[in-house]
Structures are given as structure tokens and as C-alpha cells.
Amino acid sequence: MVHDTIAAISTAVGEGGIAIIRISGPDAVEGTARIFRSKINLKDAESHTVHYGHIVDPATGERVEEVLVTLMRGPRSFTAEDVVEINAHGGVIAVKKVLDVVLQLEGFRTAEPGEFTKRAFLNGRIDLMQAEAVIDLIRSKSDRAFSVARKQAEGALSKKIKELRQTVIELLAHIEVNIDYPEHDVEEMTSAYIREQCGSAIVEIDRLLKTANEGKILREGIVTAIVGRPNVGKSSLMNVLTQENKAIVTDIPGTTRDVIEQFVSLNGIPLRLLDTAGIRETSDVVERIGVERSRNALEDADLILFVLNYNEPLQAEDRELLAQLKDRPVIIVINKTDLPHQLEIEVVEESMPAAPIVRMSVVAEEGLDGLERAISEMFFEGQLEASDLTYVSNVRHISLLKRARQSLSDAIEASNMGIPIDVIQIDARAAWESLGEILGDEAGDSLIDQIFSQFCLGK
Amino acid sequence: MGYLAGQYDVIVIGAGHAGCEAALAAARMGCETLLLTINLDMVAFMPCNPSIGGPAKGHVVREIDALGGEMGRNIDKTFIQMRMLNTGKGPAVHALRAQADKFDYQHVLKKTIEETPNLTLRQGMAEELIVEDGKCVGIITKTGAEYRSRTTVVTTGTYLRGKIIMGELMYESGPNNQQPSVRLSASLKEHGLQLVRFKTGTPPRVHKDTIDFTKTEIQPGDDNPKFFSHETESSTNEQLPCWLTYTSETTHKIINDNLHRAPMFSGAIEGTGPRYCPSIEDKIVRFADKPKHQIFLEPEGKNTSEYYVQGLSTSMPEDVQLGILRSIPGLENVEMMRNGYAIEYDAVVPTQLWPSLETKVIDSLFTAGQINGTSGYEEAAGQGIMAGINAARKVQGKEPIVLGRSEGYIGVMIDDLVTKGTNDPYRLLTSRAEYRLLLRHDNADLRLTPIGYEIGLITEERYAKFLRKKEMVEADIERLRGIKVKPNQVNDMLTAAGTAPMTNGTDALSLLRRPEVTYAMLETVVPSTPDMTDEMKEQVEIQIKYAGYIEKQLQQVERLNKMEKKRIPDDIVYSEVHGLASEAKQKLELVRPLSLGQASRVSGVTPADLSILLVYLEHYNRVTAAKGS
């Protein structure tokens, strides 16, 4: 129980602001050190110190978030174990991303309800008098978690996971029968069959993980960046979308300097708008910071609204952006259609053949419905029926799905290497158990049931 | 009418596969032991298939042997065929299986028992337990003999209120028309044990001279047989083949036409049968789309013409059985010597046992084997030896020996039984083990011989031999680690084996990790020391080749052990543990797990319940410590 390392977001998740991810357990320091880029190696850091750096996804090497990391070595910590707290300031999405990276670390898992407190108690940090309070905490939180899980279990997600588990368990039963009844006339287990079953399960997991992304979108909004050279109407577009005057709108190029975030709902499609300073080279230091941030924001965006001016021919900066945004999820917004036509639309179409084009007049508030349609097409294949989608929403589910996927691809790899089936079974079983954890099912006996219902065995 | 017939340390009721192991273990550990059987001619009888071993079951036999038990030695002396199964698969699931000369098997084991010091073998039917102050202190037989004891082991197999069923016919009987044990059931119940009704079955036996073997496929034994016992070094036993044939369309038609006469479907059978060895009528109904089923013809011994028809377990009426047999290719003119039958019997609900196999309600009373809801000779013997060991240790005032799930299949089986119970006769499968790669056939001695030695069932001589093997294996692994191999030494060999040639030199150990490279191949380049036996080489190869996976499982075991080591105090009152869900309270109260690890395997106990239990235990320990100081 107290052998693994647990992690959870320990502050209430709000929009923006600072959130803390708390990690506790034997691998807390070493694990975090693997994903934390900083001037110093966390492993060598002294207890009770704070360090600035970045969380990096070890799989891709990509910087996930700029963070402050606090280190408290046991027993001088809340749980009396090694504790690391990651302070992230980037709002909901960034924090979840960080947690996602943390949970991919080996030996790490999501904390159970009340588990930090429980560990604190077990390690003697909390007074005996508080024991009952701890129990109540575990009970009430688990019951709540249980009822949530129950609701999900009745839903479409659980159906999908069950189907997935069925694929894996059929494979397992097949392997087991080959092992336990070697003389029985059941079909010989082949590596081709292992690859096929694992492969189809992987495809299904990938599909679920993709809907996980859609689920995230519905919950957290499509991160949308509005880009374009100065004064094509970016802030005006944002204002129309938000119906408020949050960004400074002027005719002077470069007046919008910072990244401003806004949540809006475009007919049920949640957008998380990032307005950006005009992207262009500048010598102004203050402005350069703004430009820098815009570029970063661009990297993270799920959707880029690239605004062009209908009333002017393509400028060098426009062409540069066209080239830069080539492989990104872009919708081209041609603004100012209320003014005379000057823009070479054919050139735009040619350089970005996949990007939908929407014509608008932001000032005249025309063409918004077209934008809506384009976004909906792009993210929901035109069918946004929130109640109907199978969404894998929570970080725990996502990390378990990823773990199952990893086990399945390990099984395929082992099979390709000619590893014997009883050893491959270890990976397949791990996948099955990870999937089972999502449902909270008990593993064990149902495999035996499967073997006897799938195969005719006897003496 | 009663009289005092004797005073023993340990009494074992029943001389089947569980009883024989229990009695031998207790006697060899120095306890005066009485082994009672209804019929002295039935000692170690094989009422069903004349074979021992196979996946998981064969592992258990190796484990029994490593602990100092008899089954392995006995089958090595009496086999008429030996085959290693699963050789195309990984080392963890290689499994030895023997066909036994069932008569030799009985006679040799009976002789061993008769010659064992401290052990008295006697015919008699135990009918009543003597229980004083909740403690079993002896038994009374049908003839009025009263035997007193300090511990008692009940291994009644399928004899308890046994009932044979065949078509419309039904009569009280033990297996093979032996006398059933009718009154002991009532005595067990009276003292608080809950019983269930289970069922099993056996196929007909046929005369060898009436089989047309030309219509069947031969299944010979291995040319170089391996053995179950680590003590057996060679054998001169001659091997007999088995034969394979299949059911036909006619077979299926006969069965379907006579289903109304099948007790399985007419409701005559109330006991729950095993899912893993259904009768032929059950198979044909449940798997209707399967056009044919395998039938193995197995000799029952050297000096008999009886052949066992594996795959044809049935409780159909005798005339239908004959029809079924004669519809099978090769058996067209067969003579049936004994008919198949189903047998119902009483078993104890195994969650009423501690992991030592002592019952919770009656102190000093142990149960083992089929009475605990299992099926199979090996499962019975595995429990038998543990019950015998623990009955003897109780007499000697020592703590019981409980094998963990990571130590042996015996541990897996007993933990499953006492923690989860069973709804149908329990058969061991390798898939029941979480740590299959650790519980290998080849390393049973490494796992359990030290325990066998510690409890006094392994001789000094054998232990010294074991230690030497262990040391040599370890030394050889180190030797291979130290030897550098150059590409030009091995690249031809590697290419021939279908694996990539090396570009840089490496050590011999790393080379052996490659799936395609065997120890034998390596030896052609890097000769081993002359005193390495094949068995040691195999051990080295497996330990090196699967090191990564073995290490992974060892880590899991280490985690598990932390929970296994959290003991739950005997006097815990679950109903008073604040916060436990009521289902968990009930289940935990029933099973009364000894450790948090065992509690985690009780069905209906959630992770939240375990958390609460953990917090409670900490609380409990602090309060206890505070009182103590």
C-alpha cells in the first residue's frame, strides 16, 4: 500500500491561477527529477527548497509547463514521506497536462481519496485522535467517487471498456487454454493471432483516447489562437466573440501586447480564446515579450483562426504566416468583406488547401454562423451531440488507457521477438488489469470463467 | 460397546492421496500417527484417470517432492509413460505428466506407509468425532474403537455420503462401489461445519483386446523421460503408449436422443459438478457446434487389459454408455469392463478453514483434499502434506507453515480455497497463479527444499546435494557474466540460429539472453565445467534468459509481501471497525483473514475498506503499545 508514489492536484481546480500538484512516496524526488528541467538536478537539491524550471514530457522532450517545484524530504513533510509539490500557473489545462506527465512515471499513480492524509496518519504525522476523521474522509470520498464511477460505469464509456476487455480476455483465455490443456484440440496459439487481437485493441484504445481529447475540449474549451498581422481585425473578432471589450482595440499596429484568455461559447462550442499580439519582428523589448508569448500560445493551440484582410492584397507578413501555419489546425477568416475586394484568395487557397475559409465582416457582425459551422465540422465532424459521445474525461482513466496500450504494444513486440506465449501473457494480463481498474472490476476469477465458457475442456 | 483402541499424536481419516501424504509427513516429523481407511485394499487408489501431473498439477507434485512428500517418488517408481508437455512454450509452463500403473502405484505406496516408523495403518470407518471444549480429541469407528489424538486430519475424498448415479440408477456408494461414509458427515455438521454437495464423474473402462488401435493415433512417451522427484536419477520402467481417437456424429446423436435419461439434465443430480471436466453429455449440449471431441485411450497398468477412456466421463445409463463407446472409431466392437458414473459427495465449505487447513470451528481438526472442495489427486496430495505438516507442528507446539502465493501452487490453491471458497470442484490451473514465472516446474526445489529441510522432511544428505546444486548454478551464472565473447567466435552460430550477428564483443551472459541462443549452443564456444549436470544447465539458462521478467515479478511479490506482513490481530471485531462497509464486515468476519494481503483477496472487500482496515490496525497497534508501556 505505502510502497508506491501517489500524485494528485491538491488545490481546487479553477480557471487560471496557481494550482499545486502534490506528489508523495519513495519515488517522488527521483521520478520528478526525470521530468523536471532546471539548473539543478532535483535529486541533489536540499530539503525544503524551491526551484524554478520546466516540466518536460520525457516521451517527446516537449516543454509542458513553466513551474516552481518545492521539495520536502521525509520525514519532515506532511506525509512523512518524500514530498514534491509542483506549482503550475497555467490554468486548468496546463495543470492537467503536468499531472498527465507525472502519472506516466513508473511507480506513480493517482492518489485515492484521502490518501495523503491516510499516509500522514500511518507514518505518525497525525495524532491518534484524528484517526476516525481520516476514516470518515476515506469513506465519504470513496463513496462519492464510487457513485460517480457507477454513473460512468452505466454509460457508454464503460460499455466500450468492457468490449475492449472482452477482446483482451478472449486472447488471454486462448493463451491459458494452450498452456493448461496442451493436448486439447484447441486452436494453437500463434503470434499472428496475438498481434491481431492486441492490434485491434490498440486501435480501439486510440479511438477512445481521441474522444478523450474531444471530452477535454468540451470540458475545457478548444484552445483557440487568433493570429494575423497587425490591424486585420483580430481583437475586433475576439470582441465580437466575447461581446465584451477586454482587449485593447486601436488602429495603431502593435497595441495589443499580451495574451488575453477568454472563455466563450459559440452556440454550445466552448472556445478558450487566446488573443495574441501581432506576430512580427520587433525591436521594442516590451512588445517582443508579447510576441514571444504569442508564438508559444500558437504552439499550444487546438485551433488557429488566421485573419486576413479582404480589403488589401497579401502582404509579406501574411505570406510568412501562411507558410508557418501550413500544417496546423487553421481556419482562415477573411475579414472586412464589407469593403472592396483586394485579397488574392486563390493564393491563400493554394497554399492552404485543407483549411476551411470563412468570410466575415466583424464590424458588420456578418459571417459568424459560418465560423461556427467550420469549427463544428473540424472538431466534431459536424455532429456535436454532447450527450451522445463516449468521453474519457478523467486523467486517471486516460493514464490507465495509455498504460493498457503500452502493455499491448509490449505484447506485440515480445511476440515478434519470439518470446514464449506464457511470458507474453504477462503483458496481455497487465493490459486487462489496467482496463479493469477503470471499471473498478475485480480481475481474477472471470478469466477462469472465460476459459470454461469459451472452450470445451474435459477429462 | 466402545473400547479405547489407542492413543496417537495425529489421526488421519482416509488413505487416499491427501491422507497418505498427511500421515507420512506427520509420522516422519516424529508424531505417532494412525492412518485409518475403510478398505486397506484402497490405499492411494486412483478412482479416475490413471495419470499424474500436467500443467499446474505436475508443478504441485514437484512441490510436494521438494517439501519431502511421497507422490513424486511414488509415481517415478510406477509410471508406464512419462511426457513433458508444453515444451514449445516458456519454461514456467513446462509440465511433466505420467501415466501410472495404478495397481503398482497403490502397492508401492502402501508398502512405503507400512514401513514408515511411527505410522500405523489400520482398516476402520471413522463415524464420530470426539470433541471436548471445542477441541477434537479423537474419533470413534463403526466397530466401536475409540482412538484418542492431539490432532486429527479428515481426508474423506468422495466417500462422505457418497452416492453413485448412472441413468435412472442411484445408490449410496463411495467411488468404485466402495462403502460410503455416511455417519461422519452428521458428526462434522453437528460440531458446526457447513457442508455442500459436489459432484464428479468418471468414464467407462474397456478391454484392450477389443480395441482396433489401427483406427487411432499413437501417443508415445518421451524417449528420455524426466522425473517428478528430485531424488530420482534414472529409471528402467518400460513405457506404454496412449491412443487418440474422436467422437463421431453418431456419438452425438446417441447422446442427444437419450438426454431425457441423463441424470445431469433430468434433475437427479443435485451436486455441483466441475466446469473443467464436464461429462460428455454436458460437452455436447454446451458446445453443440463442435463436431467432434478428443478421446484418449490410456492403459491402466502393465498387468491389466483395462483401458481408461479419457474424455468420456458420463452418467448415462449403462446401455447408452455402450452405444456411445461403440460409435467411436476404433471402439466399434469394444467390450465395456466397467461403466462410467457420476458420484455426489459432501464437502466442507473451505472458507471455514485457516490457511493452515485447521478448521476454525473445531480446534485441532484439519481437513484436506476433495473434502475441501477440490478435485484431482495432486490437489489432494498438496493439501494433504500441508495438513499433515501443520497437524504435527500443532502437536509439537510450533507455528503452522503457510506457503505464500509466490512460493508455490500449493500456496495459491490453499489461499484461494480458504479466502475465496469455491462454487464447483476446484482444479488448479497455471492461470490461477499471479507469479507463474516464479512458480516454475524446474525451480520447485529451489523454492521449497529449504522449508522441507527446516521442518524435518528433507534428509541432511538430500539437503547438502540441493545446496551444492544451488551454489553451482549461481557460480555458473557468474562465470558466464565474466566471459567475453568476440563476434568472430559466435557469428556463424548466430546466423545459423536465425539471429543477428554481433558487431561488438559482449559477455556470454548477455548472449544467452537472446531468445534464439541456447545453453547448448553457447557450450560449443564457451565450454561449461564438467560437473555441471543438465538440470543445472537448464536452471542457468532459464534464470538468465528470463531475468527481466522474473525481476519484474519479484518486484510485484515484494509489494505484495508488505501487505502479507501486516498481520490482523486474532481478536479483531469487524462489526466494531468504524467505517467499514457492511458487506466487507460480513465477508471479513466469515473469512477472518490473517493478514491485510489475505483480506485484499476476499471478494467484496474494496480498496477503501482496506484503507480503513489499515488505519484501524495502526490505531489498534498504538493503543496496544500505549497500554503496554
- What does the pLDDT read at residue B588? 94
Of B85, B313, B430, the CB nearest to A458: B313
- Find where cell 492536484 sits: A9
DSSP assignments along A265-323, one per residue: EETTEEEEEEE----S----HHHHHHHHHHHHHHHH-SEEEEEEETTSPPPHHHHHHHH
CB B411 within 8 A of CB B176: no
Average pLDDT over residues A6-24: 73
Contacts of A121 in chain B (CB under 8 A): 615, 618
Q: Which are the contacts of B36, defined by CB distance < 8 A and separation ≥ 6?
A: B11, B12, B13, B14, B15, B122, B123, B124, B125, B126, B139, B141, B147
Q: And the C-alpha cell for B238? A: 518400460
- What does the pLDDT read at residue B159? 96
* Helix, strand or coil, per DSSP, at residue B201: strand
For residues B85 and A117, which has the higher predicted lDDT (pLDDT)?
Answer: B85
Q: What is the pLDDT of residues B184-234, one digit of tens each?
A: 999 999 999 999 999 999 999 999 999 999 999 999 999 999 999 999 999
CB contact under 8 A, A456 and B290: yes
Gap between the Cα atoms of B90 and B472, Å rounded? 23
Long-range contacts of A384-390 (CB under 8 A, 24+ apart): A384/A268, A384/A269, A386/A218, A386/A268, A389/A156, A389/A211, A389/A214, A389/A215, A389/A218, A390/A155, A390/A156, A390/A157, A390/A159, A390/A160, A390/A208, A390/A211
Contacts of B608 in chain A (CB under 8 A): 112-113, 138-139, 142-143, 146
Residue B62 annotated as lining a ligand binding site: no
Distance from CA of B126 to the nearest CA of A (A): 32
Contacts of A143 in chain B (CB under 8 A): 608
Q: Which are the contacts of B15, defined by CB distance < 8 A and separation ≥ 6?
A: B23, B35, B36, B37, B42, B43, B44, B113, B121
In chain A, which residue's Cα lies nearest the Cα of B290? A456
Tell me: pLDDT of A457 over 80: no
Question: pLDDT confidence of A383, banded at 50, 70, 90?
Answer: very low
CB contact under 8 A, A448 and B432: yes
**Residue B79, strand partner residues:** B100
How do beta strands B126-132 and B95-100 pair?
A: unpaired
Which percentage of chain A shows pLDDT scores above 70? Answer: 68
CB contact under 8 A, B90 and A183: no
CB contact under 8 A, B431 and A448: yes
CB B70 within 8 A of CB B109: yes
Enumerate the known binding-site residues of A: 22, 85, 125, 231-236, 250-256, 275-278, 459
Return the residue in B59, B281, B431, B438 with the most chain A beta carbons within 10 A, the one to mutate for interface testing: B431
CB contact under 8 A, B606 and A142: yes
- Find where cell 500560445 sits: A297
CB contact under 8 A, B55 and A457: no
CB contact under 8 A, A118 and B606: no
**Residue B242, strand partner residues:** B219
DSSP assignments along B386-444, one per residue: HHHHHHHHHHTT-PPP---TTT-HHHHHHHHHHHH--SS-B---GGG-TTTTTS-STTH
Distance from CA of A138 to the nearest CA of B (A): 7
In chain A, which residue's Cα lies nearest the Cα of B612? A135
In chain A, which residue's Cα lies nearest the Cα of B53? A180
Of A180, A423, A445, the CB nearest to B56: A180
Largest CA distance in chain B: 88
Residue B273 annotated as lining a ligand binding site: yes
How do beta strands B242-246 and B294-299 pair?
A: antiparallel
**CB-CB neighbours of A300 under 10 Å:** 14
Question: pLDDT confidence of A275, banded at 50, 70, 90?
Answer: low
- Find where cell 546435494 sits: B465
Distances (CA, A) of A418 to A218, A413, B108, B237: 44, 9, 44, 36
Give the single-character DSSP code of A129: G
Tell me: pLDDT of A443 over 50: no
Query: Residue type for B17, please?
Result: H
Query: Residue type for B551, please?
Result: E
Q: And the C-alpha cell for B584? A: 466487507
Question: Would you tell me the crossing angle of helices B71-78 and B377-395 to the nearest 10 degrees?
Answer: 140
Gap between the Cα atoms of A142 and A148, Å rounded? 10
* Count of helices and strands (H, E) across chain A: 14, 13
Average pLDDT over residues A333-361: 87
Distance from CA of B432 to the nearest CA of A (A): 8
- What does the pLDDT read at residue A292? 62
- What does the pLDDT read at residue B595? 94
Distance from CA of B510 to the nearest CA of A (A): 16
Contacts of B283 in chain A (CB under 8 A): 456, 458
CB contact under 8 A, B95 and A182: yes
Question: pLDDT confidence of A278, banded at 50, 70, 90?
Answer: very low
CB contact under 8 A, A1 and B619: no
10-residue block means of pLDDT along chain B (629 residues)? 92 98 98 98 96 96 98 98 91 93 98 98 97 97 97 97 94 95 96 95 97 97 95 94 96 94 81 77 88 95 97 95 97 97 96 97 98 97 98 98 96 97 92 91 96 97 96 95 90 86 89 89 89 92 91 86 89 88 90 93 84 84 76
- What does the pLDDT read at residue A284? 52
Give the single-character DSSP code of B181: B
Gap between the Cα atoms of A88 and A22, Å rounded? 11
Distance from CA of B245 to the nearest CA of A (A): 11
Of A134, A138, A180, the CB nearest to B431: A180
CB contact under 8 A, B311 and A458: yes
DSSP assignments along A214-270, one per residue: HHHHHHH-EEEEEE-STTSSHHHHHHHHHTS--S---SSTT---S-EEEEEEETTEE
Strands of the sheet containing B217-219, edge to edge, are: B217-219, B242-246, B294-299, B306-310, B205-207, B336-338
Distances (CA, A) of A53 to A22, A38, A97, A102: 17, 4, 16, 15
Distance from CA of A103 to the nearest CA of B (A): 19
Gap between the Cα atoms of B427 and B417, Å rounded? 11
Q: Which are the contacts of B203, defined by CB distance < 8 A and separation ≥ 6?
A: A459, B280, B308, B309, B310, B311, B312, B313, B314, B340
Of the listed ranges A144-158, A232-246, B111-125, B132-146, the one predicted with least confidence: A144-158
Gap between the Cα atoms of B131 and B125, Å rounded? 18
CB contact under 8 A, B437 and A179: no
Question: pLDDT confidence of A143, banded at 50, 70, 90?
Answer: low
Question: pLDDT confidence of A439, banded at 50, 70, 90?
Answer: confident
ipTM for the complex? 0.83
Gap between the Cα atoms of B230 and B232, Å rounded? 6
Q: What is the pLDDT of residues A45-92, one digit of tens each?
A: 999 999 999 999 888 888 888 899 999 998 888 888 999 999 887 666
Return the residue in A179, A406, A455 with the most chain B beta carbons within 10 A, the one to mutate for interface testing: A179
